[in-house]
């Protein structure tokens, strides 16, 4: 009690929250609790268990796992040195920490297939703007140790179910396949050659990164980059037989589950570890600033870089709002 009185009496005290970080107040918290509780209910009926990892992690976890040429690592990580001069990063996403925990705790010994979900604050050190915060919140799921196209369809059905439960019915589900470590490098080379011929039309970011991360160019929002890549080769038309078969199976299961979707061949994700099925769920029910994005990554193709076991094949989807 006395501390509250003191705060009020100290007229020089003018401490506010860190820029881009928000309080969730009574009156708003009920909505958050509803979204979180609905996720717990729906995800657990699909056999997913919650996992909670620490908010700070060693910076190298994200550098190695996300890839050093992505925007997240280049300019958006919330990184600082602690008192022992260790580089610490407030987690920018949930997949890498879950993977670390999965391996550190040998969860694969308990069950070869781990279906996990997480929810909580994530951090990016970027200029705060409407709808983009330095502390934001994410709900995600990871299905580890399984590559079956049924799990893709199951996760998409689960999301569909979740959005219905929270009252968002007008969602458009777009799916695409990004190939695998077999077929993706071949496609990358084709794409790099295509981009090379149009280099002067690309934005400076893309001119710099097109070789290291050519898929990111297809994802670029700059007008010149969009125009220059209108008829770029599509990854889904350059899949190996296994990926092609996998993608067809996902679509067959979705149809049999009555989940409406469309194939969006332009949809790519720049992150290296997005493999095979990727998707976005888009709705305008939340207003343009709160366009709902849900993304999926199937296989951790670069496990070696994170020092993780090569045999671990996680898949994940994350949704953030």
Q: Is 201 in the site for Zn ion (CB under 5 A)?
A: no
Beta bridge partner(s), residue 89: 57, 79
Q: Which of 180, 218, 250, 275 binds Zn ion (CB under 5 A)?
A: 180
Q: Is 146 in the site for Zn ion (CB under 5 A)?
A: no
Are the CB atoms for 139 and 109 separated by under 8 Å? no
Q: Give CA–CA dist 316/296, Å, rounded.
A: 6
Q: Is 206 in the site for Zn ion (CB under 5 A)?
A: yes
Spatial neighbors of 102 by CB under 8 A, at least 6 apart, are: 108, 114, 116, 142, 144, 312, 314
Taking the least distance from each CB to Zn ion, the nearer of 271 and 281 is 271
- If binding means CB under 5 A, how many residues of this protein chain bind Zn ion? 11
Taking the least distance from each CB to Zn ion, the nearer of 98 and 178 is 178
Q: Is 225 in the site for Zn ion (CB under 5 A)?
A: yes
Q: What is the dihedral of CA 124, 125, 127, 129, to 10 degrees?
A: 30
CB of 252 to Zn ion, least distance (A): 18
Taking the least distance from each CB to Zn ion, the nearer of 144 and 183 is 183
Q: Give CA–CA dist 222/216, Å, rounded.
A: 12
CB of 147 to Zn ion, least distance (A): 11
Q: Is 203 in the site for Zn ion (CB under 5 A)?
A: yes
Q: Is 227 in the site for Zn ion (CB under 5 A)?
A: no
Q: Give CA–CA dist 84/127, Å, rounded.
A: 28
Q: Is 183 in the site for Zn ion (CB under 5 A)?
A: yes
Are the CB atoms for 205 and 259 separated by under 8 Å? no
Interface contacts to Zn ion, rule CB under 5 A: 179-180, 182-183, 203, 206, 220, 222, 225, 240, 243
């Amino acid at each position: 009690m006395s501390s509250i009185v003191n705060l009020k009496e100290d007229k020089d005290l003018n401490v506010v929250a860190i820029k881009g970080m928000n309080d969730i107040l009574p009156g708003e918290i009920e909505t958050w609790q509803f979204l979180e509780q609905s996720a717990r209910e729906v995800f657990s009926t699909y056999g997913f268990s919650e996992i909670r990892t620490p908010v700070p992690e060693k910076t190298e976890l994200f550098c190695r796992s996300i890839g050093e040429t992505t925007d997240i690592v280049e300019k958006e990580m919330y990184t600082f040195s602690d008192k022992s001069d260790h580089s610490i990063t407030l987690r920018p996403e949930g997949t890498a920490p879950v993977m670390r925990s999965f391996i550190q705790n040998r969860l694969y010994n308990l069950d070869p297939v781990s279906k996990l979900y997480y929810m909580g604050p994530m951090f990016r050190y970027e200029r705060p703007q409407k709808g983009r915060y330095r502390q934001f919140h994410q709900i995600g799921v990871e299905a580890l140790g399984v590559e079956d196209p049924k799990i893709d369809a199951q996760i998409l059905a689960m999301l569909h179910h979740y959005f219905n439960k929270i009252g968002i019915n007008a969602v458009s589900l777009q799916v695409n396949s990004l190939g695998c470590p077999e077929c993706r490098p071949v496609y990358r080379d084709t794409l790099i050659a295509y981009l090379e011929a149009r280099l002067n039309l690309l934005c400076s970011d893309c001119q710099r990164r097109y070789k290291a991360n050519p898929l990111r160019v297809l994802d670029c929002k700059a007008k010149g980059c969009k125009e220059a890549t209108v008829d770029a080769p599509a990854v889904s038309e350059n899949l190996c037989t296994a990926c092609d078969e996998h993608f067809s199976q996902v679509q067959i299961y979705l149809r049999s589950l009555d989940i409406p979707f469309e194939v969006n061949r332009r949809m790519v994700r720049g992150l290296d570890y997005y493999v095979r099925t990727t998707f976005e769920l888009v709705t305008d029910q939340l207003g343009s600033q709160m366009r709902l994005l849900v993304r999926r990554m199937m296989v951790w193709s670069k496990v070696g870089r994170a020092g993780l076991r090569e045999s671990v094949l996680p898949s994940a989807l994350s949704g953030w709002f």
